[in-house]
Chain A
Amino acid sequence: MSTTSKRMRTLVATGAIGTTMALMLAGCGARAGDETAAGGASPAASCVDTSGSTVKLGFLNSLTGGMAISEKTVSNVLHMAADEINAGGGILGKKIEYVQEDGATDWPTFAEKTEKLLTQDCVAAIFGGWTSSSRKAVKPVVEKHNGLFFYPVQYEGLESSPNIYYTGATTNQQIIPAMDFLAAQGVKRLFLAGSDYVFPRTANAIIKLYAAKLGIEIVGEEYVPLDKDDWTSQVAKIVAAKPDFIFNTINGSSNVGFIKAYYDAGLTAATTPIISVSIAEEEAPAMGHEVTGQYASWNYFQSLKTPTNPKFIENWKKYPNSSGVTSDPMEAAYISMYLYKALVEAAGSFDVAKVNAAAKTNTITFDAPEGKVTLDGDNHHISKPGHIGKINATNQFDIVWASDKVIEPDPYLEGYDWFPADIRKQLTDAAG
Chain B
Amino acid sequence: MTKPKPWLSLSGIGVFAVLLLAVAPLVLTDHWLNNLGKYCCWAIAAVGIGLAWGRGGMLVMGQGVFFALGAYAMAMHLTLETAGDRIPGFMVLYDPLAPLPMFWEPFRSAGFTLLAIVLLPVLLAGLLGYALFKRRVKGAYFAILTQALAVALATLISSTIRETGGDTGLSDFKYFFGFVLNDPANKLMVYLIAAALLIVCLLAVWQLYRSRFGELLVATRDAEERVRFLGYDPANVKLVAFVVSALMASIGGAMFVPIVGIITPAEIGAAASVLMIAGVALGGRASLFGPALGAMAVGWGQSSLGSTWPEGWTYILGLLFIVVILFLPNGLSSLPARFAAARRRPAEQPAPAIAVAELEEVRS
Q: Report which A residues bind B (CB closer than 8 A).
A: 4, 7-8, 11, 14-15, 18-19, 21-23, 25-26, 28-32, 34-35, 38-41, 43-44, 63-64, 101-102, 104, 106-109, 111-113, 115-116, 119-120, 132-133, 136-137, 139-141, 144, 156, 158, 196-198, 201-202, 205, 223, 225-226, 420, 422-423, 426-427, 429-431
Contact = CB atoms under 8 A, between A and B. Distances in A.
Contacts of B107: none
Contact of B303 (A7, A28, A112): A112
Contact of A25 (B171, B185, B314): B185
Contact of A63 (B195, B200, B311): B311
A22 B261 contact: no
Interface string B154-170: 01001101100011110
B307 interface: yes
Contacts of B96: 205, 420, 422-423, 426-427
A40 B180 contact: yes
B95 interface: yes
Contacts of B310: 63-64, 102, 104
Interface in B1-39: 17, 21, 29-32, 34-35, 38
26 contacts: A8-B207, A14-B199, A18-B17, A19-B196, A23-B189, A28-B185, A29-B188, A29-B189, A31-B178, A32-B81, A32-B178, A34-B180, A38-B180, A39-B185, A44-B184, A63-B310, A107-B169, A108-B262, A119-B29, A120-B31, A136-B171, A136-B172, A137-B169, A140-B261, A197-B166, A427-B89
A102 B189 contact: no
B87 interface: yes
B193 A22 contact: yes
B325 interface: no
B92 A22 contact: no
A431 B95 CA distance: 16
B77 to A, nearest CB: 13
Contacts of A139: 172
Contact of B179 (A7, A30, A226): A30
B232 interface: no
Contacts of B193: 19, 22-23
B311 A64 contact: yes
A139 B303 CA distance: 20
Interface string B68-94: 000000000000010100111110111
B260 interface: yes
A409 B352 CA distance: 66
B211 A4 contact: yes
A196 B264 contact: no
B186 A11 contact: no
Contacts of A41: 182
B306 interface: yes
B175 interface: yes
A134 to B, nearest CB: 9
Contacts of A28: 185
A40 B303 contact: no
B92 A430 contact: yes
Given A23-B189, A108-B266, 16 more contacts: A7-B207, A14-B200, A18-B21, A19-B196, A26-B185, A31-B178, A32-B81, A32-B178, A63-B310, A116-B31, A139-B172, A201-B161, A202-B94, A205-B94, A423-B96, A427-B96
A133 B183 contact: no
A431 B90 CA distance: 9
